Structure 1
Amino acid sequence: MDLTLKGIEQRVGAATHLYPIDLTLVPRAVTVLLGATQAGKTTLMRLMAGLDMPSAGRVMADGRDVTGVPVRERNVAMVYQQFINYPSMTVADNIASPLKLRKESGIDARVNELAAKLHIEPFLKRLPAELSGGQQQRVALARALAKKAPLMLLDEPLVNLDYKLREELRDELSALFATGESTVVYATTEPTEALLLGGYTAVMDAGELLQYGPTAEVFHRPRSIRVARAFSDPPMNLLAAQATAGGIVLPAGVTLPLALPPKQTTTGFQALTVGIRASALRVRSRPGDLSLPGQVELAEISGSDTFVHVETSIGELVAQLPGVHVLTLGAPITLHLSPAQVYVFDARGDLLIAPGASPGEEKN
């Protein structure tokens, strides 16, 4: 499906839930709606589905204005955080229900195919109440996939599952979406999930669409500090800085040998913000690195990584170190950073320099 939103807004009383949004989804691909809780993701998906009427703007599907057309008259498949299955029907009948409505042939083969892909074959004769939460969510996903709808909307479908099951289902969903049978919109609060699903990402914050593009591009080239904050886990380290003739000066006089784009003013002092991803900080130095001695304030082990909070002369930094590190609180530690790995934002929060980009590339 070709889906385009033109000037879509949503207001409820005096409250604005969505500010004007223009968005054309890449057809037959995955678009991730990424943003914190109350960013507007669910509101936008409800407008896409036809569950709600926008306060202003139009929804175009395959070139046709479907604004106000109710969801029952649209060919849309939806999966929510809270899985919804028919309690009195077996797993097999739940999956088959959209196929039976369309009176399709080969229903049993299609049900078995989807059950195999989602590893729920042993449960086809059971009722949903006899399954675990993860298995019930797989049933809901299988039923949505069975519909073969041109538009599939998934609103944080894995959020209520345990960590291991989320990881497993993400991999399976990525493989299923790769077939390109549907235009998929997938809402999540987790940057890692967006990166794993790939495709395209629309970053949202407080009812605004901040940036849309290929997921890797949005991650590596966040248009603003707001996008960088939304697309960083753990949050990007942000430091006040100033531009001088000798480079970009951080607190305590630490200087980064970076030049601003030619269009930027270089007279006097210019207020900037320097962003450093936690993964860019290391404990082993490389040639040309900036060394930042400090003390361990906190060390958190998360999966196969250790997140270390370090108090340095330029402020508190969070470093994401691969592996499990046992660190003593208050112990000295030196973090190392390549100046080429920093982001630089102007006083308005717009991106000036990104890793791998030559000065001026971001603001042509």
Structure 2
Amino acid sequence: MTGAQNAAMTRLAAIVFALLVGLTARAGEIALRPSARLTPGAPVTLGDVATLTGDDAAALAPTALDVRRGSDGAAEITVEDVRAALDAAGVNWGRLTLRGSVCAVRAAEPTPATPDAPRRARSRDEPAAVDLAGPPTVRTRLARLVARLYGVTPDNLRLRFDERDAEFLSTPESGRRIEIQPAATPNASRFSAVVWLYAGDELLGSRSVRVDVRVRRPVVVLTRALDRGDAVTPDAVRSETLWVEPAGSAMVGAVEDAVGAVARKRLDAGAILRAEALEPPIVVRRGELVTVHCVSGGVVVKAKARAARDGRAGERLELRMDGSKKTFVARVVAPGRAVVNLDAPASLAEAAP
């Protein structure tokens, strides 16, 4: 190896070492506090009951925790509860330490009412559009990120920030680098993230931010109630564009995606249809003779077989040919019709007689 190559390898090793040191510096500690006073009925998060030291720990602040009742009936969160919640979130324990025992959860004292409190409460209840004009700030950077993650344009997005974060959110980007790390999958009505501010090689600070989200989307609304098992007909639905909370399963966006499906449960008139509330109709009945298209290379052979159970379009269904003791699996594609690929052994599951 030449001298120039040795020098290049030395520089590369120095860069890798610096990156590793930087990553290690982001590791942290989670210390469960002995007690915490929280608003009754409000969700409890890790940041409410623990002191978080380091960037990795701060990023976990929005993690939701369950409150249990101790032997004396008092509300509490144990270190085992915290560990279980973080395990479920996929935390890297090689970069974190957890200490503490039990955090006693007590109700916070109510804030004295003031004459204008109702007016302020109403104004906080309504998420609002974020003005993206002017120099970028932490607030506008967050708004653009949320719009992209939720799959809408900024004019179809409304946000509500915590008043306690107002000064931090107004921090201008000029002369700084803003890094935003989402704390969870963006599919709920509340978005959580950790924001870091840098100036050159200096970390100016970090903060956990929570945002209530509303999006404007095309949705499908029921014009009349449906009982479980009822088929969705064209006269039972209409298309609208509404401001909605993006929580729960995906919403049905087009009437044609709903018509023909079957209600999994009773649905009231005026309900916005979500994918989880519908299922494909049954197109093959148990014992029905089904035409099976058996595909192998460029050859297709059609045969008859009986369904072992009811089947819906798209489902893999067990079938048996008359006179045979063995069953096989094919995919239902239409009423009375299924397809099996004989070149894919995994798709042809034969069962013992």
Structure with more relative contact order (C-alpha pairs < 8 Å, separation 6 or more): 1
Q: Considering the TM-score relative to the shorter chain, is it more than 0.5?
A: no
TM-score between both structures, scaled by the size of structure 1: 0.25
TM-score (norm. length: structure 2): 0.26
**If you compute each CA radius of gyration, which structure gives the higher value, 1 or 2?**
2
